[in-house]
């Protein structure tokens, strides 16, 4: 199914028209049968569906229509940095439009997609959490991302700093190399689906920019093994109001939503609530009672969310059967087997701890303790936190 330049212009005109929201646009599409049919209708016919002011607005092409059309066509015709990736637009009636989004009360009418568009969405889990996680929380998100990917589950998240980025990175650690792209060039058409995405990044900006900029390399990796998706026109900056709105897409694309770390007032809890409203499962990873980032997870668990300690818990909750190691090993977190931990780590525990308290427990001289901590920090077993605290990293299973 192809979208030619005239159809593209009609979709952009509809979505750029002032006062026409998604609800009004859906009513118009239902009444007139196609996006072109809306603009072939008379003012009188339009007022049968929308207000007179809205009808008058539809009769006048938006000021930015020409510029946005040119911008979109240029974006579609420019190859992404990754040679195996492609770009596409999927409208709500397109054959490649992700089926789970059709069940939303407010589905996007047009999706901008970049990445492996010849593939499709398979079984998926949405992973969300704090933008400022503890070191343990960030590592946990990465471990779950890898374990889910190893089990053949797509990881859906929002490309934000913290837990989002770590979960994408974990999934990509188990990503399979992509086959060379077909001879078909970027266009308004898409290829056929051949396999499943490793990870999906749902962003709150236009796809012609990366936010945060720190994740530019990550974005390139995502489009090499999955897709980036946005409902926002090219050039849309990172507006605060857009991120809670995009969260409904994250919640809808997953069979369930896993919350790794979240404060009591956070976007992650908004996503969890959206998932519940959609009838999706909500799961949460418990953390330290002293960490503000874990309070939201503990609240979710008290409200009935599934307490998750390893990937097997997720697979059981979602009733996903897999023959991979990630699904069969109850302690699997997606990391290779490790040797016995350093004896010092057993005394340290996983709760952030001060140097003085740690010294009381292990009874080491100051210089010796500093040497041990530095060595473990360099090996990635311990993280140094603000306030002179230290935290052990690694799976708690």
pLDDT number for residue 341: 61
**Residue 392, phi-psi category: left (phi > 0), alpha (psi -120 to 50), beta (remainder):** beta
pLDDT of residue 190: 41
Cα–Cα distance for residue pair 394/386, rounded to 1 Å: 19
> Tens-digit pLDDT profile for the chain (397 aa)?
567 899 999 999 999 999 999 999 999 999 999 999 999 999 999 999 999 999 999 999 999 999 999 999 999 999 887 778 999 999 998 999 999 999 999 999 999 999 999 999 999 999 999 999 999 899 999 999 999 999 999 999 999 999 999 999 999 998 865 544 443 434 454 444 349 999 999 999 999 999 999 999 999 999 999 999 999 999 999 999 999 999 999 999 999 999 999 999 999 999 999 999 999 999 999 998 888 999 999 999 999 999 999 999 999 999 987 654 443 333 444 444 444 566 677 667 677 788 888 888 787 888 888 888 877 877 778 888 777 788 787 653 4
Span 243-284, pLDDT tens digits: 999 999 999 999 999 999 999 999 999 999 999 999 999 999
What pLDDT is recorded for position 394?
67
- What is the pLDDT, as a whole number, of residue 185? 39
The predicted structure's pLDDT at residue 395: 55
pLDDT score for 326: 42
């Amino acid at each position: 199914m192809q979208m030619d330049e005239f159809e593209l212009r009609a979709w952009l005109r509809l979505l750029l028209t002032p006062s026409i929201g998604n609800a009004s646009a859906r009513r118009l599409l239902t009444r007139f049968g196609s996006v072109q049919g809306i603009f072939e209708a008379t003012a009188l016919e339009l007022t049968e569906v929308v207000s007179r002011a809205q009808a008058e607005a539809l009769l006048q092409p938006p000021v930015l229509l020409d510029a946005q059309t040119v911008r979109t066509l240029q974006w579609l015709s420019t190859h992404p940095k990754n040679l195996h990736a492609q770009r596409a637009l999927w409208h709500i009636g397109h054959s490649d439009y992700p089926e789970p989004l059709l069940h939303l009360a407010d589905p996007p009418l047009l999706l901008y997609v970049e990445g492996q568009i010849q593939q499709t969405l398979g079984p998926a889990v949405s992973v969300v959490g704090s933008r400022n996680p503890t070191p343990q929380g960030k590592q946990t998100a990465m471990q779950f991302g890898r374990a889910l990917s190893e089990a053949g589950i797509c990881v859906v998240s929002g490309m934000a700093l913290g837990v989002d980025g770590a979960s994408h990175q974990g999934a990509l650690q188990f990503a399979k190399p992509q086959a060379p792209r077909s001879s078909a060039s970027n266009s308004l058409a898409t290829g056929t689906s051949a396999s499943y995405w490793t990870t999906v990044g749902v962003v709150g900006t236009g796809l012609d920019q990366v936010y945060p900029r720190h994740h530019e390399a990550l974005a390139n990796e995502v489009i090499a093994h999955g897709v980036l998706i946005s409902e926002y026109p090219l050039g849309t900056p990172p507006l605060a109001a857009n991120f809670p709105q995009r969260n409904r897409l994250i919640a809808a694309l997953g069979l369930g939503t896993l919350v790794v770390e979240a404060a009591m007032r956070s976007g992650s809890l908004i996503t969890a609530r959206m998932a519940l409203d959609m009838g999706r499962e909500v799961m949460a990873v418990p953390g330290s009672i002293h960490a503000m980032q874990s309070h939201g997870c503990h609240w979710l668990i008290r409200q009935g969310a599934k307490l998750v300690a390893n990937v097997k818990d997720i697979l059981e909750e979602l009733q996903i059967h897999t023959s991979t190691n990630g699904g069969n090993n109850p302690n699997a977190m997606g990391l290779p087997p490790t040797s016995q931990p350093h004896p010092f780590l057993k005394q340290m525990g996983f709760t952030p701890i001060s140097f003085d308290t740690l010294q009381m427990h292990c009874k080491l001289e100051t210089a010796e303790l500093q040497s041990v901590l530095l060595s473990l920090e360099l090996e990635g077993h311990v993280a140094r936190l603000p306030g002179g605290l230290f935290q052990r990293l690694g799976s708690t299973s």
